[in-house]
Amino acid sequence: MLDQLETLREEALAALQMISDSASLQAWEGQYIGRKGALTQLLRGMGGLSPEERPIFGKTANEVKQILTAAHDERQQLIQDRELAQDLEQGEIDITLPGRTAQIGGLHPSTQVLRRFYQIWGDMGFQVYRTRDVETDDMNFTMLNFPPHHPARDMQDTFYTTQPDVILRTHTSAGQIRAMWEYGDHGTKPIRVVLPGMCYRFEQITARSEVQFHQIEGIAIGKNIRMTDLKGTITEFAKRMFHPKAGVRFRASYFPFTEPSMEVDVECCVCGGKGCNLCKYSGWLEIAGCGMIHPVVLQNGGYDPAEWSGFAFGMGPERTAMLKHRITDIRYFWANDQRFLGQF
């Protein structure tokens, strides 16, 4: 019977050499090493052997099986490689077909407007300074001349944290003092910076107000900086941002950290001032709050208000984007709707 094993081995290996396709390989496997194959048949006859012969036969049969299995696997790999090469050569896979293009993302409309702001303010000599979203009550209010319990705090509904005195900034003005400390060198150097960032207010979400939105703050401090500098700077900005001939007007307003304070309107970009839906038939759109930095704030930032003066302004990129693109609902900005975002 050991001879039979040897014959089987030789015969099977010889047959394997002739095989060159997957189907025949499968047939070969069935014929020799499969569950109903020749090797299994031989093992079935083991019962007729003497107890001494049996283990020798069993061991040899196992070895034959291992040899044949290894030879089979090797052949299989060879055939698969060859078949793949053949397929490629015959062009069954057309590698010249154009692929499916992946959708390319774009910049969020807020990011686009912010970058336009940086560009314009950069051209006008302002550097960009990033301050923190999580602020102290001190920086957001007290140092800006809103003492505790000052009624002006009600203008901005605040998100408080579980830490006493730690809040989410309600406006980028919260970075004013930090910028003065960082660049003013104890009130000895002039500064011109813009502070962009997300602000948070505990407000009812509507088409016109969100609980989070960007602002971009600007401050300029120097000697002999006057209200006319502020008006000229803002007017120049509006022309660059909206329209070279855009009219601008200033209305008296109130902020605790500026004196005098103003709000800035630009001529409606849709109707050109004649009156339409967007400007609610006034011909004007509000774009900023601004004013001359209050002496108390200058002092808190390290400057001597007898010697130094400056102006500050705050603008909303989402509002600006809404005006420029006639977006009617601010909630679109954070809704992550591709149909909206894909338009920019």
Residue 121: CA atoms inside 13 Å, Cβ hemisphere, count?
24
Window 9-48: residues binding ligand PHE (CB under 6 A): none
Instruction: Indicate the length of the chain as a whole number.
Output: 344
Cα 121–Cα 126–Cα 132 angle in degrees, nearest 5: 100
Size of interface with ligand PHE, in residues (CB under 6 A): 12
Residue 219 C-beta: closest distance to ligand PHE, Å: 8
**In this structure, are residues 293 and 228 in contact, taking their beta carbons and an 8 Å threshold?**
no
Q: Is 213 in the site for ligand PHE (CB under 6 A)?
A: no
C-alpha distances in angstroms, 197 versus 73, 81, 90, 114, 208? 63, 58, 59, 9, 19
Q: How far is the CB of 107 from ligand PHE (least distance, A)?
A: 25
Q: Using the rule CB under 6 A, give the single segment among 19-27, 93-101, 287-295, 327-335 that binds ligand PHE.
A: 287-295
- Looking at the DSSP bridge assignments, the partners of residue 311 are 220, 292
**For residues 125 and 141, what is the distance between their CA atoms, to the nearest angstrom?**
28
Residue where the block lists tokens 């083991």: 46
Residue of 258, 300, 309, 320 that binds ligand PHE (CB under 6 A): 258
Closer CB to ligand PHE, residue 39 or residue 139?
A: 139
Amino acid at 41: Q
Binding mask 99-138 for ligand PHE (x = CB under 6 A): ----------------------------------------
Q: Which is nearer to ligand PHE, 254 or 340 (CB)?
A: 254
Residue choice 290, 321, 323, 330 for contact with ligand PHE (CB under 6 A): 290
> Of residues 32, 255, 303, 333, which one binds ligand PHE by CB under 6 A?
255
Residue 289 lies near ligand PHE (rule: CB under 6 A):
yes
Query: Which burial class, exposed, middle or buried, applies to 295 when counting CB atoms under 10 A from its CB (0-12, 13-18, 19+)?
Result: middle
Residue 34 CB neighbour total at 10 angstroms: 14
Segment near ligand PHE (CB under 6 A); pick from 19-27, 104-112, 302-310, 311-319: 311-319
Nearer to ligand PHE, 155 or 270 (CB): 155
Position 179 contacts ligand PHE (CB under 6 A): no
312 binds ligand PHE (CB under 6 A): yes
Locus of tokens 């998100």: 159
197 binds ligand PHE (CB under 6 A): no
Interacting residues of 307 by C-beta distance below 8 A, sequence separation 6+? 223
Which of these, 207, 210, 241, 209, lies nearest to 313 by C-alpha position? 241
Interface with ligand PHE, residue 297, by CB under 6 A? no
Q: Which two tokens stand for residue 137?
A: 């009550």
Closest listed residue to residue 266, CA positions, set 237, 290, 293: 237
At closest approach, how far in Å is the CB of 231 from ligand PHE? 14
- The distance from CA 21 to its chain's CA centroid, rounded to whole angstroms, is 52
Q: Given candidates 169, 171, 192, 214, which one binds ligand PHE under the rule CB under 6 A?
A: 171
Q: Which residue's C-beta sits nearest to ligand PHE?
A: 314
Q: How far is the CB of 143 from ligand PHE (least distance, A)?
A: 13
Task: Return the number of other C-beta atoms located less than 10 Å from residue 75's C-beta.
Answer: 17
- CA-nearest of 139, 291, 131 to 198 is 131
Q: Whose Cβ is closer to ligand PHE: residue 15's or residue 155's?
A: 155
Residues that bind ligand PHE (CB under 6 A): 171, 173, 217, 255, 258, 261, 289-291, 312-314
